[in-house]
Amino acid sequence: MSNKHFDLVVIGSGPGGYIAALKAAERGASTAIIERHPFYGGTCLNWGCIPSKALLATAELSHEIGHAKEMGLDLTGEVTVNWTRVQKRKDKILTKLRGGIKGLLAARKVVGYQGLGVLDGEGRVVITNDDGSAKETITTDRVILATGSTPVRIPGWPTDTNFVCTSDESLHWDTLPKKLLIVGGGVIGCEFACMLQPFGVDVTIVEMMPKLLPGMDGSLADELAKVFKSRGIKCLLSTRVEDMGIKDDAVNVRFGDGNSDTFDRVLVAVGRRPATSGIGLDTVGIKLNDRGFIETDDTLLTARKKYYAIGDANGKCLLAHAASAHGVSAVESALGHPRAFDSPIPFAVYTFPEVAGVGLTHEEAHARGIPISVGLFPLGHLGKAMAVGDT
């Protein structure tokens, strides 16, 4: 037991939490950050944006090499994938960045605690071990909850992650599958398909909605579907997975259209759910919405005064850069300068070509009766696109 007291405690060290902690310390608040894992960075650095970008960079290079001849290069010899080296390169980047965050927090005198941060009534936070036993209790005037989210796993589907896994495991695979089914053609499904196909993986995406990237501009999804088709990535749209089972070291999948197929591995990418259970929210009266995310107002304040929720945990926008922006906003609010967070947040899907947007899609504008005009410019007519051989 200790009686350390802080002006502000941040729970979770992803791009929401560590940016909030740095900001609070910069503003002169005595600040602590609690992280359950033995390293900083959360999903973005350890199971998301950064490892996926590292793997994508190798995949894109491999894809480019495939077009060397048309760019005027004659390559002799075979290009083969050394997956162990691809993984090692990625791991080196993660290690360096984890150290970078640690250094930044130390430089601003943010006190770090390793363990699960659990609220324990007004102004108290217990840091617990994995078995739930208390390590230490600290007190604080303000709390920022930045506990993030975890991938959705479908109940009833096999739980052996060597066969049926989520993005958490797939970014750190020891070996590549030969034939992969990706369930969900959303952001993660499309990014992983694009990343894995150049490594020689036979990829199929199954998406229950009629288009890839549902919720984004439909014409962008149509273009992406054409690109995927040209690369041999199969897309089963308007198709559900009925069930799946493991037999003879393979996954047998039955689809809603009556067809079945067998895959070495399945990646489930059907969304993420908030990491909000077991952290004592009820001890201070913090409310969840009907999707299980922490309910906040525009200033990211929860139902409890001086307790804020940012990033994936509040469900407003599951993007790393949104979490960081929330972090800055919540610190300003917590330290006495309430600020509504109402900026439009741009997004980018890291396929190649990339898909990006900001604000309403034209479908959403139509639905709200907002008159719009649509401008289109085909990449096939664009000088830069022709010059780099990517129309």
Taking the least distance from each CB to ligand NAD, the nearer of 112 and 214 is: 214
- One of 112, 123, 158, 214 touching ligand NAD (CB under 6 A): 214
Q: Of 33, 187, 203, 220, which lies in the binding site for ligand NAD, with binding defined by CB under 6 A?
A: 187
Stretch that binds ligand NAD, among 93-101, 157-165, 203-211, 381-389 (CB under 6 A): 203-211
Q: Least CB distance from residue 156 to ligand NAD, whole Å?
A: 11
Is residue 45 close enough to count as binding ligand NAD by CB under 6 A?
A: no
Tell me which residue of 46, 57, 168 sits closest to 96, measured CA to CA: 46
Task: State which residue, 207 or 264, has the beta carbon closest to ligand NAD.
Answer: 207
Cβ pair 9, 143 in contact under 8 A: yes
Dihedral-angle region of residue 336 (phi above 0 means left; psi in -120 to 50 means alpha; beta otherwise): left
Among 228, 308, 341, 350, binds ligand NAD (CB under 6 A): 350
Answer yes or no whether residue 340 interacts with ligand NAD by CB under 6 A.
Answer: no
Count of all residues that appear for the chain in the document: 391
CA distances 147 to 4, 48, 118, 380, Å, are 22, 15, 11, 44
Asked whether position 346 contacts ligand NAD by CB under 6 A, the answer is no
CA–CA dist 227, 43 (Å, integer): 28
Rounded Cα distance, 163 and 266, in Å: 6
Our CB check for ligand NAD shows the closer of 116 and 183 to be 183
Supply the angle between the helices 83-107 and 17-26 in degrees, to the nearest 10: 30
Q: Nearer Cβ to ligand NAD, position 29 or 188?
A: 188
Rule CB under 6 A: choose which of 17, 185, 274, 280 binds ligand NAD: 185
Q: Could you list the beta-strand ranges (E) of the chain.
A: 5-11, 31-35, 111-114, 116-119, 124-128, 134-145, 149-151, 164-165, 179-183, 202-206, 234-236, 241-247, 250-255, 260-263, 265-268, 272-274, 307-309, 347-349, 355-357
Residue span binding ligand NAD (CB under 6 A) among the ranges 71-79, 100-108, 136-144, 347-355: 347-355
**Other C-beta atoms lying within 10 Å of the C-beta of residue 100:** 13
Distance CA 71, CA 57 (A): 19
- Among the residue ranges 21-29, 32-40, 130-138, 200-208, the one whose residues contact ligand NAD (CB under 6 A): 200-208
The answer to the question of residue 207 lying near ligand NAD (CB under 6 A) is yes
Per CB under 6 A, the list member of 11, 233, 319, 328 interacting with ligand NAD is: 319
Q: How far is the CB of 201 from ligand NAD (least distance, A)?
A: 18
Q: Among 53-61, 208-216, 275-283, 373-381, which window interacts with ligand NAD (CB under 6 A)?
A: 208-216
| Contact positions with ligand NAD (CB under 6 A) in 237-276 | 240-241, 269-272
Q: Which stretch binds ligand NAD (CB under 6 A): 120-128, 133-141, 278-286, 348-356?
A: 348-356
Q: Are 129 and 122 in contact (CB under 8 A)?
A: no
d(CA 87, CA 66): 21
- Alpha-carbon span 51 to 57, nearest angstrom: 10
Part in contact with ligand NAD (CB under 6 A); list of ranges 103-111, 202-210, 225-233, 338-346: 202-210
Residue closer to ligand NAD (CB basis): 18 or 47: 47
Options 42, 148, 186, 315; binder of ligand NAD; rule CB under 6 A: 186
In angstroms, rounded to a whole number, what is the distance separating the alpha carbons of residues 388 and 117? 49
Q: Tokens 């947007």 — which residue? A: 357
Contact call for residues 312 and 272 (beta carbons, < 8 A): yes
> Residues 32, 110: contact at Cβ < 8 Å?
yes
Ranked by CB distance to ligand NAD, the top (closest) residue is: 186
Residue 189 sits in the site that holds ligand NAD (CB under 6 A): yes
Residues in contact with 267: Cβ distance below 8 Å, sequence separation at least 6, in sequence order:
165, 166, 167, 170, 180, 181, 182, 183, 189, 192
Give the shortest CB-11-to-ligand NAD separation in angstroms.
20
Q: Which is nearer to ligand NAD, 111 or 237 (CB)?
A: 237
Which span (121-129, 181-189, 289-297, 380-388) binds ligand NAD, by CB under 6 A? 181-189
Closest CA to 308 of 290, 283, 335, 289: 335
Question: Residues in the site for ligand NAD, rule: CB under 6 A?
Answer: 183-189, 191, 206-209, 214, 240-241, 269-272, 318-319, 347-350
